[in-house]
Structure 1
Amino acid sequence: MGVQNGGNMFPGVTLPFGVVKIGVDMLPATGTADAYSGYLPSGRVTGFSLMHESGTGGAPKYGVVSQLPLTGAVENPLVDNAPLRVGDDEAEVGRYKTTLANGVVTELTAAAHAGMMRHRFAGADGGVHVLVDVSHFLPSFRGQGIEQKYVEGEIEVDAKGKYTGFGVYKGGWNLGEDWKIYFCGTVDKTPSQARTFAGTAVSGETLESFGNATKVSGKKRLGALLSFNSTAGLELVVESKIGISFISTAKACEFKEKEIPESNSFEALVSAAKETWNNEVFSSITTTETDSAKLGLLYSSLYGMFLIPSNRTGENPKWTSTEPYYDDIFTLWDLFRSHTPLMHVLMPHRYEDYIRSLIDVWRHDGYLPDGRSSNFNGRVQGGSNADNVLADAYVKGVRGGINWDDGYKAMVKNAEVAPANNNDAMAPDSSTKEGRGALPDWLEKGYITTKYSRSVSRASEYSLNDFALSQVAKGLGKTDDTEKYLNRSRNWRNHWDAKSTAFGFTGFLSPIDQNGAFPTPAWDPLSCGGCYWGDNYYQALPYEYSFGAHHDMETLIKYMGGDDLFTSRLAKLFEPGANPSGDARFGKTLFNPGNEPSFASPYLFNYVNRQSLSVQKARFIATSYYNTGNEGLPGNSDAGAMQSWLLWNMIGLYPMTGSTTFLIGSPWFAELNLNLGDGKQVSIKTTGGSDTAYYVQSLKVNGEEWDKNWVSWGDIFEKGGTMEFVLGTEMKAWDTGARPPSYAT
């Protein structure tokens, strides 16, 4: 699901939050294309490697610790030996299978820190080989200056084919510093030859040595070639087990031996992976549904949601700590809106560990991460959105082993101390590594001028970040801080230009120049420039960012002219053809389902008690732009963010992060149970529903008639609860009760 059309999903094998994500790495047969998760729909296979991200954009990360099965004579392991892939790959939970044009069939499976490859050679003349290329990684061809680079490595191989060593790499989307991964691999058959090789330059293809040493190292391309005798017409199967570690080769070997012992067969490892996914993830949602398409969408989305981050507890090479450690956070800008709130609901103990890990990064690295991979913070696309994640956990009562005094200090650091500029070439005005780079303007002026890139979208997000801080301050009894940060959370209002107009609607979030003035003539709400790093708005139009003050909705509705004008303005977001320069896939609407700033927009009708319109728009988006096909996502998965949005839609709720509020939508199933852990459960039932009858007619919450289009954490999640919907074809105004809270108003 979502491996093509920009979804960039990782289709290989991993466990929930596994360190090893073993999969295929490819290049197109002709031309160039970035393989963000290693996979491309067609082309040449450059290797099978143990580390990948999932659903990311920007530039690929990882694709290291690889093997490539080859046939015939191999005179130079450094040249392009990549064979074409033939046919379609086959994937299931716990197993991945690829067929190569050289007749080799490779299957993959994985444990948490180790992976297993099975190479099935068809019996070629001239021998068969397994190439281990330490200098292999996923390249980027976009020319943005954020591509990976190989730095140096080492490999030692013995006569039985056991190999150990390390590779050092840098770069990737997060502009990471040098990082080192250790490996330990074995094969189940003794090779006829086990030779190391080294090249004269990192980028070169000229051999410096081949077979003259059992160990090679240095700032050069290097690796090993394991060769096996073969007989024409007779199949030869070579199985390889590889462990990885950020600490040492000894620990990589320990992981390999512990997680894939000699007694473990390939099939046993596949079965163990399936069992782990069933126990830890799939069993968190159960349903009586029998429609295979809906079930496929439900469980494939659950799977895609929990491929990353990676649980690297005990594998942090930078500091020693008793706290959990998670890496491959890509990124909280993508995840805070719907992913982390659902992770909290479905995996509360894992979520607590995740929060503790974020705080521990602050203790040792100085700032909470917004994104993080290869043990390095970066990149920050907007605000310091770890603040939103921490606040969401706090207001919903997550305590356990979390030190909330430290958590609050980490949030205050984001709010008060501007990070040093990391001189990102795509946004050189301030730091994109961590924290709030545009903080000097925010503190001095109460708005962000065009001195800083992404000025308006950052102002919108800084407002929400300060609201998050105010809520934790309130819970900790810090009265002065509560008022201070709640006031700062209203600063989005300073960017409201009443002269900016579109479609007859007046007032939108606008840039402010360094003299404190709005543009003349007023900024066009339908233009964001490129919607990218150097522009005033990031990944959404001004028209949509103007709906972003979710903590201050009462004020926003007033600014937009009241309920009716707010409703008609919001409806315009979804009107086909309203955005002539927009994406044809989405009907050229102002709304973009493939970017996260759009996530809450369909549900905002709830704030004017027009819940049926929220259901209409949200259901249309879910059924139009999501499916189980390989183009089944409307944009980058973004580490499962897209899947989490769809899952909330199927559940019939939408979380307003940083608060205890959940907006009510419309469930897809007659019966759905969310298992909250510790014996608690949310039971959601519907009657009268169908693919055309999905509007809410009435609702009971915990057996009581309900006339509000929202519920709080305490209503159904804190102790468990029930929601009973009656659905039908009529757009009924059932939501006559109190509107969702507008905290900053």
Structure 2
Amino acid sequence: MLEENREAERSTYEPARPRDCVNPFIGTEPVDLPPPTGLAAKWWWPKPQVGNTHPGACRPMGTVSATAYTGGYPTGYGRYGKSLEGKPVPFIDRMLVSGFTHFQPSGVGAIRKYYNYCRVTPLTAEIGGLGALGTAWEVLDEQASPGYYACRLDKSGIRAEITVTPRGAVHRYTFPKSERASLAVDFSHGGIHIEDGRTIPLRAEFRLLGTRTAEACVTMEGLPIRAAVEVHGFGPADFESSLWVAGEPLTGEREKSYDYIRESNYQPFGVVFSGPTEEGQVVEVHVAFSFRSRQQAWRSLSGGARDFDSARTVTESCWDDKLGRIDVSGGTETERRVFYSALYHSLIKPCEANDESPFWPWDGPFYFDFSTMWDMYKTQLPLVLSLFPQHGADLINSMLTVVEMEGNFPIGYRLARGYDRFAHQASALAHVVIADAFNRGLEGIDWDRAVTMMWKDAGRAYGEAFLQDGVVHPITHTLDLAYGCYCTAQVAQSIGDDATATKMMRLAGRWSNAYDDNGLLRESTYYEGTLWNYSFRLLHDMAGRIALHGGDEKFVADLDRFFGFGAPDVSIPGRQPSAEEMAEGYALGRFEGLNNEPDMEVPYAYVYAGRHDRTCEIVRAGMAQMYGDSPGGMVGNDDSGAMSSWYVWNAIGLFPVAGQNVYLIGSPIFTRSQLRLGNGSIFTIEAPETSAERKYVASATLNGKPLQRPYLRWQDIAAGATLHLEMTAKRTAWTTKRPPSVSVNEC
């Protein structure tokens, strides 16, 4: 029925501006899609069934995001408590907010604290004034679009609007008539309202500089955050400003500082601006941040925007540029909304803060919030590198500086100082991203420096045992490290370092040590999955991998088992599933159905065994049934845009093999997609007859010439070309050619 409705939409659909198609609320509520049917009903969801996104204002890969604050897990927005599996449990029965905060993760799981800094709260005397600080009010009339968030607060009737600038935010509050309206800024605020979720400062200093300006420097999780604040809109009559601590004004004090704050002596603190307001009076708060100096915070504030409307216009223009890099035609109105919302979510992270690194004293590229790089590296980062080469080069150079300054490439890099707390989840992911940048020919990167850092990092942490023994547990790290060595070899060979290239290629062959005689991964511990979820990941030697498995027939048969072809439907975990229920689900050894990322690329493993038709069936089932345009339109955590970018790639009919110069051809849902690349070229994908039924590729041409291979190189795309796909409703062996493998021919 769902497919019939989508087909009916096609006849009445008229394209709209990309920004108008974005729904930032997608992923903010637990999944509300129809129960899966057909093949999708065989997939099992082990992780929380909510996108964990937020609808706040942000710029593309912007430093600051700003949204309403409830204390919900994990972004600070939403009604749900800590959730690691199943449907999340509400911790409040309706949206209640205590203000508006800055810096949020996007779609992540157990990040918990480190974010939601500098809470701004509008107040009136009629609801208690400063004494009501910390109270939560119901949110009404929420609206959101790229770069803009708005709502109305119950009780006070205050309308709140937020937009962002390159290094800050502009808040606009429309007040009712009040004998005293206030804007309280809580510099000490951070974290969320769950156990161990609050972040408190280590030290702080804050001051009033004038009657309408203030500044602060607060050290959160080892990171000094400087804030500059300016208020516009209160009249001169009866206007006041003051510092406050624990909700009480500090009369006569202009500055205050704290050293060594801990739970036992912590009290909230900040500044408050207040004055009488008439009905409809508008007050703006301009906030800017720096991780380096107060002077830079003030420069960012003065150069940010004259007023709310100008800030919003500039930010929306940035989104128009970025979202306009892909233009799609055909499909349904729903598919277009899902697509551009997914593209929007794919471009929020990582966050650019060039010239603002708090960890080294010189200017240059600095990016943070690779909060889930073990997910992002497969789809989200390849999308950024493909469409935005300057961002890509800066991102790589930032990572190279991180490894020089901190001694290792990050697996997850947040807005906090500290060792790599996510090292147990994966290894050598930066090597894959650097190889992606190399294969795309990004300029402005010192590849000699890159090889040096890649080579040094290969032996850290789990790499030490890998180099010594050829295998390491968790066994997935063996695959990670072997693949990282392959990625290093590619770049080393390009700079003429044959010795490093030869050594790295030899080490890259150790991927086979991870598998047993049945062609599956050895028994080990597995992060968020089982050996089945990792056994079919795409490697640099898929020909050797399939041979080790026993050949095409057995490989395909085990893939069919993994995806549930011919199997009974599964039971999806509900709220607070028992340990026994989860164990039974994991024992299925089943595809996680785009609820989680460990096996997100596995539908394309069929292509290496000559079964492109199976890939088409799986990706179409995933796009049709695991994504929607409602707040519950994600079946699992978006993880910094990883799941959203999976949809973006598959909807246009391509899939990047991370770390390789290979883009696999899939099954597009749009009749025409145009990618506007950073070099000015336009790459077009045409599939004029595509539909829910016509999902198989019958034939292909590239620039009018027959294409007999199921993949493209970056050179095919970057030069500007047209890929034309003839689609059919019949299963067909479109091509018997396989994508490249190192044991057959070099990638």
Which TM bucket (shorter chain)? Answer: 0.7 to 0.9
In structure 2, do the counterparts of structure 1 residues 583 and 730 end up closer, same or farther at CA, with 3 Å as the change threshold? Answer: farther
Q: 1:104 aligns with which of 151, 155, 158?
A: 158
| Correspondent of 1:439 among 449, 458, 463 | 463
Is the counterpart of residue 653 in structure 1 residue 650 in structure 2? no
Deviation at residue 304 of structure 1 after TM alignment: 0.8
Match of 1:84 among 137, 158, 169: 137
Name the counterpart of 1:596: 597
**Alpha-carbon deviation of 1:321?**
3.5
The worse-fitting range, judged by mean Cα deviation, of 588-597 and 561-570 is 588-597
Q: Which amino acid aligns with 1:508?
A: L
1:215 counterpart = 2:255 = yes
- What is aligned with 1:413? 456
Residue 164 of structure 1 is aligned with which of 190, 212, 215?
A: 215
Partner of 1:533: none
Match of 2:380 among 315, 339, 342: 339
How many angstroms does 1:562 deviate by?
A: 1.3
Deviation at 1:323? 3.2
Structural mapping, 1:693-704, within 5 Å = 693-704=694-705
Q: How does 1:389-404 map to 2 (within 5 A)?
A: 389-398=433-442, 400-404=443-447
1:214 to 1:326, Cα distance in 2 relative to 1, 3 A: same
Q: Which residue of 2 aligns with 1:639?
A: 640
Residue equivalent to 1:21: 65
Which residue of 2 is the match for residue 471 of structure 1? 490
RMSD: 2.5
Name the CA distance, whole Å, in 1 between partners of 2:309 and 2:245: 35
Q: 1:154 touches 1:222 (CA, 8 Å); kept in 2?
A: no
Equivalent position SS for 1:184 = strand
| In 2: Cα distance, 1:142 partner to 1:654 partner | 40
Note if contact 1:53-1:328 (Cα within 8 Å) is conserved in structure 2. Answer: yes
- Aligned-pair distance for 1:268? 2.6
Q: Distance in 2 between matches of 1:181 and 1:52?
A: 17
| Aligned twin of 2:720 | 720
CA distance in 1, matches of 2:302, 2:647: 39
Distance 2:289 2:661 in 1: 40
Number of the residue aligned with 1:272? 314
**1:289–1:267 Cα change, 3 Å:** farther
Mapping of residues 264-303 of structure 1, within 5 Å: 264=307, 266-279=308-321, 281-289=322-330, 291-303=332-344
1:366 to 407, 411, 431: 407
In structure 1, give the amino acid aligned to 2:28: V
Residues 37 and 53 in structure 1, CA contact (< 8 A), matched pair in contact too: no
Corresponding residue SS for 1:58: coil
Aligned to 1:462: 481
CA distances 1:158-185 after superposition (whole Å, capped 9, x unpaired): 5633111122211xxxxxx343333333
Distance in 1 (CA, whole Å) between partners of 2:167 and 2:665 is 40
Contact 2:690 2:727 in 1 (8 A): yes
Contact 1:346/1:676 (CA < 8 Å) preserved in 2? yes
For structure 1, the 5+ residue unaligned runs are 28-32, 171-176, 200-204, 419-436, 450-454, 499-505, 513-535
Aligned to 2:631: 630
Contact 2:165–2:315 (Cα < 8 Å) also in 1: yes
Deviation at 1:155, TM superposition (A): 2.1
TM-score, normalization by structure 2: 0.84
State the match for 1:551 in structure 2: 540
2:677, 2:78 → 1: CA distance? 34
More helix by share: 2
What is the aligned partner in structure 2 of residue 525 from structure 1? Answer: none
Count of aligned positions: 661
Aligned to 1:743: 742
Contact 2:28 2:51 in 1 (8 A): yes
CA distance in 1, matches of 2:77, 2:508: 41
Give the 3-state SS of the residue equivalent to 1:497 in structure 2.
coil
Asked if 2 retains the 8 angstrom alpha-carbon contact of 1:114 and 1:243, the reply is yes
**Residue aligned with 1:148, SS:** coil
1: CA distance, partners of 2:224 / 2:52: 24
Deviation at 1:75, TM superposition (A): 7.4
Show structure 2 runs of 5+ residues with no match. 1-25, 31-49, 81-93, 576-581
Tell me, yes or no, if the aligned pair for 1:582 and 1:589 is still in contact at 8 Å.
Answer: no
2:516 corresponds to: 497
Question: Compared with structure 1, are the counterparts of its residues 456 and 87 closer, same or farther at alpha carbon in structure 2 (3 Å cutoff)?
Answer: same
**Deviation per CA, 1:484-521, whole angstroms, max 9, x where unpaired?**
222222323223233xxxxxxx4421246xxxxxxxxx
Distance 1:309 1:608 in 2: 35
- 1:198 alignment partner in structure 2: 245
Q: Distance in 2 between matches of 1:584 and 1:662?
A: 37
| Percent of aligned pairs with the same amino acid | 26
SS of residue in 1 equivalent to 2:554? helix
Aligned-pair distance for 1:544?
1.9
Q: Deviations over 1:287-339 (max 9, x none)?
A: 33373222212211111111121111111223233532212222321211111
Say whether residues 1:151 and 2:192 are aligned partners.
no
Map Cα deviations across residues 101-120 of structure 1 (whole Å, 9 max, x no partner): 22211111111112111112
Contact 1:166-1:183 within 8 A present in 2 as well: no
1:53 pairs with 2:105: yes
Q: TM-score, normalised by structure 1?
A: 0.84
- The code of the aligned residue for 1:217 comes to S
The answer on 1:3 being equivalent to 2:28 is yes
Tell me the equivalent position of 1:428. none
Deviation at 1:445, TM superposition (A): 1.1
Structure 1 residue 79: deviation in Å?
7.1
Cα deviations across residues 432-459 of structure 1 (Å, max 9, x unaligned)? xxxxx2223212211114xxxxx12222
Provide the C-alpha distance between the structure 2 equivalents of 1:699 and 1:140, rounded to a whole number of angstroms: 54
For the 8 Å contact 2:70–2:76, the answer to whether it is kept is: no
Q: Which residue of 2 aligns with 1:734?
A: 734
Contact 2:382 2:436 in 1 (8 A): yes
| Structure 2 counterpart of 1:182 | 227
Residue 521 of structure 2 corresponds to: 509
- Residues 217 and 224 of structure 2 are in contact (CA less than 8 Å); yes or no, is this contact kept in structure 1? no
